[in-house]
Structure 1
Amino acid sequence: MTTLIKNATIINATQTLKANILIENEIIKSISSDEPKADKIIDASGKLVFPGLIDMHVHFRDPGLEYKDDIITGSMSAVAGGVTTCCPMANTNPVNDNAVITRDMIAKAKKRGLIDLLPIGAITKGMGGKGITEMGDMSEAGCVAFSDDGLPVSSSDVMRSALEYSAFHKSFIINHSQDCSLCRGGHMNEGKMSMLLGIKGMPREQEEIMISRDMLLAKLTGGHIHVAHVSSAYSLKLIEQAKKDGINITCEVCPHHFTFDESELISYDTNFKMSPPLRTKSDVEAMRNGLKNGSIDVICTDHAPHHTDEKFLEFDKAPFGILGLQTLVPLTLNLVRQGVISYNDMARLTSKNPAKILNLPNKGEIKEGFLADIAIIDPDFEYVYDESLNKSKSKNSPLLGKKLKGASLITIKSGRVVFDFPNVVA
């Protein structure tokens, strides 16, 4: 099976190129000005051809919480957002803390065939924060990293062991940066806004303290620590300093943390309730500057579906979390339109860098010999992100029903069209 994408404007991290792309079976066969015959032809005139996006941080709720989402609907949400590779976190039920669950998750995704699913295994057994998991077995089964995301690893000794063992198995640790002793039952960022709204707040220092500890443990062990969902300006300063000192540290930011600030909570809309919480305008500006100057390595979504009944509660009773896979492209394109990053930066942050961190040698670029994972994006396409387009079982996005600009109109996974706006291809 051959597919020709003609009149392509190819966006890689380091280069923009106008050419035709010939795909043969799963692989990019050639990139040239030639227009060879093919079984299928896609005209990409006026569109941008990105390498398939890689989301290092999602929650698919499978196994055990499939009423919120599952691997199938999560995969559908991903390809509808131009994402061809996803890394689901371990806070499932049962927890993904052993090779059996890891293999089952991968097998379910392969059976549907929409994305590559690369699980993040739990750091500790049952995410209990004590004994670490059998990282070697789980790595062999397909886990690409380890995290108790949703819960921090509070014990410094356990985190030290986790960094040492993960490094031995050529993997790395993603920690949920939160000092729980400072949470105090908080539900939003602590400050003037939390006082005004009468909602218990969490100080940003809970994030900053944990990042400080983890960077020092990475310094001690030589292990790789990846900081999830950075949200505080000072957190980013700590990470920048750690990088200058040669500590093996990388970090990610989510679109909601470079788009929205705590003032959105004036409406008490629980769809804006997330962990870490939305912070101040200055924190949002710091995230944007971090993307601009390169101190932030990755953009990911922390796609966290919750059933409508769970979010339709008083603010302090509703769970943390927001959908993100289908709004990743339009929110990131907003940064391009505003001059914060370039299209090439977008490819670097959403594909090239994640592939490098996850050690995926045939992903992250539109390149001859690489896997044909491709997102054909129209940055000017306007549409209403409504329930007919939403592929998740859940609806917890403040952008649902809103007009958005920019979308992946065609998503290709391993040479096969898996999404063609607005319908997923069987």
Structure 2
Amino acid sequence: MTIDLTIVNGKIFTSEGFKEGGIAIEGESILKVGKEPSLPKASLRINVKGALILPGLIDIHVHLRDFDQKQKETVETGTKAALAGGVTTVVDMPNNKPAMNSLKQLKKKEALVVGKAAVNVGFYSLLPETLEEIFSLARGGIFGFKIYPSATLYPHKKDEQLQQYMAKIALTSLPLIIHADAANAAEKEAELYSSNLPAIAAFLKAHPPQVEAQALKDFIILNEESKARLHCAHISSKKTTDVLEEYSKKTNLSSEVCPHYLFLTEKELQKQQGLAKCLPPLRTTTDQKALWQALIENKIKIIATDHAPHRYKEKFCEFEHAASGIAGLETLLPLMFTAAFKGKISFEGLIPKLTKNPAQFLGVADRGELLAGNFADVIVLAKEKTIIRAEEFQSKAKWSPFDGFHSAVTLKHVFVNGAHVKDEGHIILKARTGKLLKSKVKISEERVHPTEED
């Protein structure tokens, strides 16, 4: 029997660390993992010459835009950016235009993936307009519900109604993903811009670290009875890591951190202005050290990009008018693996936070690890120096505060569902190989009131 391909002479990342060997791929799946003599004969044999063979990265926090924001990014350009960065699965955030908060809009979003996505794509939803839609969206295959400070429901706005939504979400076992900030943060920011404070000082004062931490606490308290899964997105401060430490063993709470909070501080915000503007804002070196420590100690178990592309003119303008967000799909891998090669974090501590842990968060059992039977989402990394050049990004956002960063690694190969889509650094995408991913939800009917309809 001759199979499709083998990747040989590499260092494979397993649950027991790195092992020398290779993998055999047939169709969309991994057939076998082991040393070359044990692998079947293949039509294509790729010798990676000692490079690292890893699961494709999984990014649970991405803004693919499209529709009324296609000038910023589309599913096609965003997933191609993911491919270029070694990210083989992304989940799209719902604060689009139009907003993603209904089954009707979900179907429209899903239609963008088929035949256009270079990598696997799943979706989140905003809180829908009615409680009844929680179950229908969950059964429709979303991976969670996202809530923003600007939402109608948020702590200190309509707490009783928010608790009703949390109770309903708890029955789906899907996470409620929190953007932790003050409910009136946008109004506060506008007010401070009108004061005598410099623009950056006003921005930082409108979104202080203690408010992020308190917002997370507020959600935890409101969730005491419902016990829904809570996930704090883009943690940025020491105060919030303290909340994690206090409550992580008492409640069903998870979290993520983004590379820009690990590599940049508010000093860089002062230097790069709107280019480095994001929400939550960049913090102090003390906050940054606390984030690294929480990551190393496994208190934060997921690294995500919050890939937020904007047009050039929306970033290179007066600070108060600059859009918040940093495009991160093509900088995630070089930043984090350079940190590992430099000893900032161990490979064993880093890789699961980019692969296995986000897969488990999503409930996707057949991705995130190099195991026989899993989908063949695979990347190959070599310890070769390269430089981040934003002008070469596949994303429409060809700018980055990391432009010019010297990376210790080069992405050599990418395989998505068994298809070889990046070869020796060159994208060879002949067809869109990404799949539409859907969650597999089981509603906890035993906790639903007998007269309740969904």
TM-score normalised by length of structure 1:
0.91
Q: How does 1:334-413 map to 2 (within 5 A)?
A: 334-388=338-392, 390-413=393-416
- Residue in structure 1 matched with residue 165 of structure 2 by the alignment: 162
- Residue in structure 2 matched with residue 283 of structure 1 by the alignment: 287
Find 2:247's aligned residue among 239, 242, 245: 242
Q: How does 1:32-71 map to 2 (within 5 A)?
A: 32-33=34-35, 34-71=38-75
Give me the whole-angstrom Cα distance separating, in 2, the residues matched to 1:240 and 1:311: 35
Question: AA paired with 2:133?
Answer: E
Taking only aligned residues, the RMSD between alpha carbons, in angstroms, comes to 2.3
Q: How does 1:1-400 map to 2 (within 5 A)?
A: 2-33=4-35, 34-125=38-129, 131-132=130-131, 134-149=133-148, 151=150, 153-154=153-154, 155-181=158-184, 185-186=188-189, 198-200=201-203, 201=205, 202-245=207-250, 247-388=251-392, 390-400=393-403
Question: AA paired with 1:137?
Answer: S
Q: Secondary structure at the match of 1:325?
A: coil
1:344 CA displacement = 2.0
Deviates more, 1:66-75 or 1:372-381: 372-381
1:401 CA displacement = 4.3
Deviates more, 1:197-206 or 1:262-271: 197-206
Give me the whole-angstrom Cα distance separating, in 1, the residues matched to 2:211 and 2:267: 20
Q: Secondary structure at the match of 1:134?
A: helix
Tell whether the 8 Å contact from 2:366 to 2:374 is kept in structure 1 after alignment: yes
Give me the whole-angstrom Cα distance separating, in 1, the residues matched to 2:276 and 2:182: 22
Equivalenced residues, count: 415
Tell whether the 8 Å contact from 1:57 to 1:89 is kept in structure 2 after alignment: yes
Gaps of 5+ in 1: 126-130
Give me the whole-angstrom Cα distance separating, in 1, the residues matched to 2:67 and 2:265: 33
Residue deviations 1:215-238 (CA, integer Å, cap 9, x gap): 223332111000000001010111
Seen in structure 2, the aligned counterparts of structure 1 residues 308 and 204 have a Cα distance that, compared at 3 Å, is same
Tell whether the 8 Å contact from 2:94 to 2:125 is kept in structure 1 after alignment: yes
Tell whether the 8 Å contact from 1:90 to 1:119 is kept in structure 2 after alignment: yes
1:289 CA displacement = 0.2
Give me the whole-angstrom Cα distance separating, in 2, the residues matched to 1:196 and 1:346: 36
1:184 CA displacement = 5.5
Give me the whole-angstrom Cα distance separating, in 2, the residues matched to 1:261 and 1:363: 33
Residue deviations 1:285-341 (CA, integer Å, cap 9, x gap): 000001100000100000000001111210011010000000001111133134332
Deviates more, 1:277-286 or 1:213-222: 213-222
Question: AA paired with 1:231?
Answer: S
How high is the sequence identity, in percent, across the aligned residues?
28
1:423 CA displacement = 2.5
Give me the whole-angstrom Cα distance separating, in 2, the residues matched to 1:101 and 1:362: 27
Deviates more, 1:268-277 or 1:38-47: 38-47
1:32 CA displacement = 1.8
Q: Secondary structure at the match of 1:316?
A: helix
Give me the whole-angstrom Cα distance separating, in 1, the residues matched to 2:208 and 2:79: 35
Give me the whole-angstrom Cα distance separating, in 2, the residues matched to 1:251 and 1:69: 26
1:132 CA displacement = 4.9
Seen in structure 2, the aligned counterparts of structure 1 residues 207 and 384 have a Cα distance that, compared at 3 Å, is closer
1:121 CA displacement = 0.9
